[in-house]
Amino acid sequence: MHPINTVSPAILSKVLKPARYTGHEWNSVNKDVNADLVSFVLAMPDVYEVGMSNLGLKILYQVLNNRPDTFAERVYAPWVDMEAEMRAANIRLYTLETKRPVSSCDILGFSLQYELSYSNILNMLDLAAIPVESTKRDESHPLVVCGGPCAFNAEPLADFVDLFIIGEAEEVIGEVAGVIAEWKKAGKPGGKAHVLRQAAQLQGIYVPSFYEEEHNAAGRLIALRPTQNEAKPVIVKRVIKDLDQVTFATKPIVPFIEIVHDRIMLELFRGCTRGCRFCQAGVLYRPVRERKMDTLVNYVQELVDNTGYNEISLVSLSSADYSCLSPLITELITRFKQQGVSVSLPSLRVDSFSIELAKQVQQVRKSGLTFAPEAGTQRLRDVINKGVTEEDLTQAVSAAFSAGWSTIKLYFMIGLPTETDEDIAGIASLAQRVADLYKQIKGRRGAKVTVSVSSFVPKPHTAFQWFGQNSVEEIERKQKLLRSLIKDRSISLSWHDARTSFLEGAFARGDRSLGKVLLRAWQQGVKFDGWSEHFKYDAWMEAFDACGVDPEFYARRHRETDEFLPWEHLSAGVNKAFLVKEWQAAQQETFTADCRHDSCGVCGVCQDLDVDIVDWGQK
């Protein structure tokens, strides 16, 4: 038996939010630990409140624990105060369910949601006394697995991860657990290399140690070649054909403290084919596959019974596009209103906004409305294929103000391809027009308009993957310009740190050279890079310099469409020719229609992956 980590009340009394580390929450699963069980630890390389809010991990926790041969536990990144106490007391990173050392488990699986969480992966491995580099681990250590959207460019983490799950994991994660179960049962023959070869034969599994980089005479990456027979030249994503047939998180763990998304999370459908050219998720999760309305209502009944939550958040890439949304909301409100359960839509597309829908949603409790025009001018909205006009926004906001709303939040990006200062000025003027609309409609001032501006980061597998992002100085200049143009006190402005976006861009489009940079930066104390109070930009730049790696080569360099990209061996199902065509269409400011309601754009997903669009409104 492995030792149980004991965290004394004396230690917990010294840290912020001790309930992050105690476990025993409602709906958490605890099984009798034995050698035959596949011991799986689901990890988020971020603090408890963020990790507990991730829907994917909630689903996988239930999927794995439904298997009689598997026990899934959880671990999150200890906050800096707890880490200091653990290191001082020589306490290893432990699971929340049984308090066992994470190092005693079979598989440690990280969810990769954000490039700036990578340093926390190394820190958590070290806290668990697991060698951070995969070549220094053997079968006595857990297999380190990663999945999630960032896995679609796995190369910056290739030195540290044994295998990646590419795509949707509900089915393949059970197959991986099955491979581990058989290997353990047989006495772990052939060691770690054997089980990796077995896993590599599964669709959607990428084993980075089975590939080697090839460079040209100038040192430029030109290929990634398999070195093992089991390794496929291209790893194609896993996709769930029928979402009604897979497990959903109907019995999620209820935390003792407030988390980021402390409510029922109801995934209506997966995928979005509106084709915003900046949007990675719109490519990774194609095609659109809706759940049946009856399935969703049954989920909600189970979730309300199992959790006691009084808010249902309808979460999908564009929830207002669910074909049965109005009848679904009517049914949910009718059924659950007496229990004080409300329904919320996190963000509304301007062109699919219905004030009647918003009135329905906010019968129980009223909050502000959020819209995402993304760009300040019609020209730039055409470049990014947003497909909405200023008239759409005006109509939606006017209807909202007339119906009693006064708080509006608007999301924009700066640094988009072809952007000019005129586009930046357009953000300020659009926000001003929204504020002025309130006065026109109500005859008085009183609107509260929040403008939230993020910095654009080009992402793999998108039409903008070839675009070199703006420099830190240019983004900061644009932020300053925008601040100078917003003078109305009813408009508030928030923006992202340009330096974090630059680092995100380097890792988003990076290759294996970034592994040594990441290792060096972590050794210099970087962690929690997504948290402004802990972000150490200078330490990162020192690490790049010490390793002889130029971050601008990855983040800021425009790439040719015939250049080999570090993620070309990891396929989201969308063919490169389609993305090239979209990149060219962006530069020509031409619109590409949504294939869900128009003609097929021949992106390749449905045909090559043999999966159909599921739209219950068109059945």
Model confidence pLDDT, tens digit, residues 479-488 = 999 999 999 9
Residues 188 and 299 in one domain: no
- Which pLDDT does position 335 carry in this prediction? 92
- Cα dihedral: 475, 481, 482, 488 (round 10): 160
Residues 179 and 32 in one domain: yes
Phi then psi for residue 144, to 5 deg, are -100, 120
Residues 29 and 170 in one domain: yes
Cβ atoms of 162 and 196 within 8 Å: the answer is yes
Phi then psi for residue 588, to 5 deg, are -95, 0
Residues 161 and 21 in one domain: yes
Model confidence pLDDT, tens digit, residues 251-279 = 999 999 999 999 999 999 999 988 999 99
b/e map of 176-209 (b: 16 or more CB within 10 Å)?
bbbbbbebbeeeeeeebeebbbbbbebebbbbbb
Model confidence pLDDT, tens digit, residues 337-368 = 888 888 887 766 676 566 677 777 765 445 67
pLDDT confidence tier of residue 110, bands split at 50, 70 and 90? very high
Tokens of residue 206, six digits: 């990428």
Reduced to 3 states, what is the DSSP secondary structure of residue 428?
Answer: helix
Question: Region 379-394: what's the mean pLDDT?
Answer: 93
CA distances from 326 to 333, 336, 617 (A): 11, 15, 11
Question: Is 1's pLDDT higher than 60?
Answer: no
Residues 161 and 58 in one domain: yes
**Final residue of a domain: which of 236, 255, 278?**
236
Distance CA 395, CA 294 (A): 32
Phi then psi for residue 583, to 5 deg, are -65, -40
Task: Assess whether the previous peptide bond of 3 is cis (omega < 30° from 0).
Answer: no
The angle formed by the CA atoms of residues 572, 575 and 576, to the nearest 5 degrees, is: 110
* Residue 32 exposed, middle or buried by CB count within 10 Å (0-12, 13-18, 19+): exposed
**Residue 552 domain-assigned?**
no
Q: Among candidates 142, 150, 140, which has minimal Cα distance to 46? A: 150
**Residue 337 domain-assigned?**
yes
Which secondary structure element, helix H or strand E, spans residue 379, and what is its range?
helix 378-383
Reduced to 3 states, what is the DSSP secondary structure of residue 186?
Answer: coil
Residues 33 and 137 in one domain: yes
Distance CA 355, CA 375 (A): 23
Residues 212 and 289 in one domain: no
Q: Among candidates 35, 57, 34, 33, which has minimal Cα distance to 45? A: 57
Q: Among candidates 125, 130, 165, which has minimal Cα distance to 527? A: 125
Query: Cα-atom radius of gyration of the chain, to the nearest Å?
Result: 24
Distance CA 215, CA 227 (A): 16
Average pLDDT score, the chain: 93
Residues 187 and 283 in one domain: no
Residues 220 and 134 in one domain: yes
- Cα dihedral: 569, 575, 581, 587 (round 10): -50
Reduced to 3 states, what is the DSSP secondary structure of residue 6?
Answer: coil
What's the number of domains the chain is made of?
2
Distance CA 60, CA 478 (A): 41
**Final residue of a domain: which of 188, 217, 236?**
236
Q: Looking at the chain, how many residues does it have? A: 619
Model confidence pLDDT, tens digit, residues 156-196 = 999 999 999 999 999 999 999 999 999 999 989 999 999 99
Which secondary structure element, helix H or strand E, spans residue 325, and what is its range?
helix 325-336
Model confidence pLDDT, tens digit, residues 573-585 = 999 999 999 999 9
Residues 191 and 314 in one domain: no
Tokens of residue 319, six digits: 């929830």
Question: Is 619's pLDDT higher than 70?
Answer: no
Residues 114 and 196 in one domain: yes
- Which pLDDT does position 35 carry in this prediction? 79
- Which pLDDT does position 405 carry in this prediction? 85
Cβ atoms of 272 and 317 within 8 Å: the answer is yes
Task: Give residue 295's domain range.
Answer: 263-367+589-619
- Which pLDDT does position 351 carry in this prediction? 65
Question: Is 217's pLDDT higher than 90?
Answer: no
| Number of CB atoms found within 10 A of residue 594's CB | 15
**Residue 34 domain-assigned?**
yes
Residues 173 and 73 in one domain: yes
**Residue 376 domain-assigned?**
no
**Residue 125 domain-assigned?**
yes
Least confident of 95-104, 236-245, 348-357, 379-388: 348-357
The angle formed by the CA atoms of residues 479, 316 and 463, to the nearest 5 degrees, is: 55
